[in-house]
Amino acid sequence: MAQDKETVQTGPKQPGIWKTSFVAILRCWASTVIVAILMLAMAFWQFAAPFSGQVYVIYVLGLVIWGYFALSLFAWLLNGYAGIAAFKEFDASRVRLFSGRYIVLQLLDTLPASLGLFVLTGHFMLSPEDMAKIENLSAIGISSIFTFVSLWIVLVFFATLLPAALIGDGSGVGRAVARGRKTVWYVTGRVLLGPVLMLFLGSMIVNLVQTAGGQPLISSDGALAFNATSIITMVVSSLQYIVIGAMIVVIVSRAYHLGEKRLTV
């Protein structure tokens, strides 16, 4: 596994998060390809072999895949290392600390929505077929609000624990909250102009594909339909979330440096 050490651009004026996110994806192209293939494989798996409890298995696998992707992008943004195993350039204890914090933050993000779904539907997570049912639409809407609020809290006040772990500055939750208080508007604005806007654009493309295709995503028996429209939708959604994931990593990385600078001043 060849390692490619890139020089991270520094200076008084940084490029926008859109440009930096796509540059990070290109620099970490090997990790991006691996993540894209695995995401598409999991999506096809839901079509080909659905089973009870599959959504929980998908969640755990997604946790690992997106954790690897975030670790790869942070490795390039923080130290300029790009490659399939660029995180090996960090001390093993820092990678373990990053992994532990990543899992805790992911649980904090998903727990409120999962509890809301459990109260409303009796399930902590819904399969794609369940999400397409009309009787679950209100529960999905309410859980989406929980997801947005919890994600905002995690990104603003706790997410900088991840780059802090890799850098090894020894700071904990209190310092992360202090950084968040100094960068709350920066993170909020960048999230709205980056991931939220990308999510909106991706949803528009998916709707156009579904309208033009004219094929149902759910078959008459309530299962996911396997057709050209569903395949294109699946590919677009997977690529969309890769870009959104890169944007979030860029925002968190910059929020860490900005928060530390403001706290020092």
- Asked whether the beta carbons of 261 and 39 are under 8 A apart, the reply is no
pLDDT for the residue numbered 136:
74
pLDDT for the residue numbered 6:
39
User: Three-state DSSP class for 116?
Assistant: helix
Could you tell me the two tokens for 34? 């691996």
Q: Residue 4 — pLDDT band, cuts 50, 70, 90? A: very low
- Asked whether the beta carbons of 42 and 61 are under 8 A apart, the reply is yes
Q: What is the CA radius of gyration of the chain?
A: 19
What is the C-alpha separation between 117 and 87, in angstroms, rounded? 36
Q: Residue 132 — pLDDT band, cuts 50, 70, 90? A: low
